[in-house]
Chain A
């Protein structure tokens, strides 16, 4: 069983985000990046499957700032192979371009299952998992929270609203957009990441022709309006608590 896990980095959303001078993109000068949390869950699920029934897990990512750190972290956690896809992508890579680049590289690789994050905070033109599946002509299920492998097929749980789930049987190879792994993604200490940098080979493969039309252009980026935002309660923790309790009393919400 060969499992491929495409990962990417997104801006750390804890940071304050600013619009750049063009008015169309983030000011990226001071931005911190981290692995897309859903990709981290996809990697975790792949590693759980490996531990359960044996598999080769390969993490693959498009070249971008600091991506090697995320790849080596994947190796430190248990990924067997790393691939960096090289090409002239720029900083804000549209999902269609990313999916096409991954599809080009994957055509020369052998695999049974592709697990990647169901979405990312910046995929304006759609989710990579489904785009990739259709460039490769493979079946796909998104918003997956459970994966079991049986007789060369994947039995997956897909989340709907209201806590409902659909169960599907998917022929392999297939692509699953992972919402959450079966357990909290594991942590790799820095010492293990450093060790992985020395012991794991990072293969580079060119993206090939990624000239797909996104078909829309960004006109502007702006912070959502906050005019009818919250009335802020200020003061010491005690003052704040008193004010909240007054609000609750006024509304008859205090027992």
Chain B
């Protein structure tokens, strides 16, 4: 076993995702405290350019092969298993993203390593690893301590600064061949599907009126559309609204939707699950209206209103009209 910290890099459409730099920044701090090295692990096809961007790491272990050009839960977990088996890092940081979810738990079982998920912080003091997880829809944090020597931590995107993970240094790159086990895959990547164009682009709007489960019914959407119109903005939504098909996928803010930074984000009936916060916390002005005084959204909003959201929305529309 080593004292090293490994960061599993994530990339999509030829770019490293921000979360990769966030993990490199945090990983640097952990590795320094553990007197270990920081190692980036990059899987893909034709990814030399991406290797070079990971200068915060002392070294990048790279499997660059056309067979793994696209993410595949089966091939990627098999590749990572070989890498982690060979190097036995103390801590492995994985993004708690769509891709990372398919990897972290897989590695935990196959390598018999503890996993702490939904991490928003991690520390290494005197060799002891402590991890803070955000659970219960962001309503509770739980601090876990590692009992054994090694662990996997899956980290919620947006938890750390991505600037801390960037560096002009050029890391040493160790090229590794893909494992033989890739010949026997039970999952095949078919294609990447891009979102349908044609709808408004919510990432380009100054004003978003964003609606969540609290609006209760599709029938209440027109009232909120009226408010959005009166403000000169458009409607966006949290995941449950889109899952219910009340608004199209193009309007979804959050982890599996879009990241937005409008001048005004008026969150109506959105409780603020971590997956949603990830997509809107950088808005310039956040005003939240919710009936639950304990809704996590109030931790991120600049202004908050606890009360009947339809009363407030009605009054706002009325006054804007007049």
Contacts and interface: CB of A to CB of B under 8 A. Distances in A.
Interface in A137-168: 138-143, 155, 157-168
A1 B42 CA distance: 38
B192 A130 contact: no
Given A164-B12, A164-B13, A184-B243, A230 B288 contact: yes
A123 B161 CA distance: 25
Contacts of B130: 219
B312 interface: yes
A213 B309 CA distance: 46
Given A142-B101, A161-B98, A122 B136 contact: yes
B15 to A, nearest CB: 11
Interface residues of B, number: 103
Contacts of B147: 215-217
Contacts of A248: 231, 264
Contact of B285 (A19, A214, A224, A253): A253
B312 A240 contact: yes
Contacts of B50: none
A13 interface: yes
Given A232-B306, A237-B312, A224 B106 contact: no
A242 interface: yes
B107 to A, nearest CB: 9
A218 B132 CA distance: 10
B298 A229 contact: yes
B186 interface: yes
Interface string B174-207: 0000000000001111111111000000000011
Interface in B105-122: 105-106, 108-110, 112-118
A102 to B, nearest CB: 13
Interface string A7-47: 00001011011010000001000000000010001000000
Interface residues of A, number: 89
Chain A interface, DSSP helix/strand/loop, else mixed: mixed
Contacts of A135: 109
Nearest to A251: B285
B288 A140 contact: no
Nearest to A219: B143
A230 B304 contact: yes
B245 A184 contact: yes
B271 interface: yes
A54 B174 CA distance: 51
Contacts of A237: 307-308, 311-312, 314-315
A216 B144 contact: yes
A174 interface: yes
Contact of B257 (A158, A163, A171, A223): A163
Interface stretch (B23-31, B67-75, B165-173): B67-75
Contacts of A253: 206-207, 231, 263-264, 285
Contacts of B144: 124, 216-219
Interface stretch (B1-9, B54-62, B85-93, B247-255): B247-255
A99 B187 CA distance: 21
A26 B136 CA distance: 10
A245 B187 contact: no
Interface in B30-62: none
Q: Which of B147, B192, B303 neighbours the largest number of chain A CB atoms within 10 Å of its CB?
A: B303
B102 A130 contact: yes
A230 B298 contact: yes
B142 interface: yes
Contacts of B271: 13
A183 B245 contact: yes
B105 A14 contact: no
B150 to A, nearest CB: 9
20 contacts: A16-B294, A96-B109, A118-B101, A121-B135, A121-B136, A125-B117, A134-B105, A135-B109, A164-B12, A166-B193, A168-B72, A169-B190, A180-B242, A216-B151, A229-B298, A230-B300, A244-B316, A247-B287, A253-B231, A255-B320
5 closest A-B pairs (Cβ-Cβ)? A215-B114, A163-B195, A230-B304, A241-B315, A130-B105
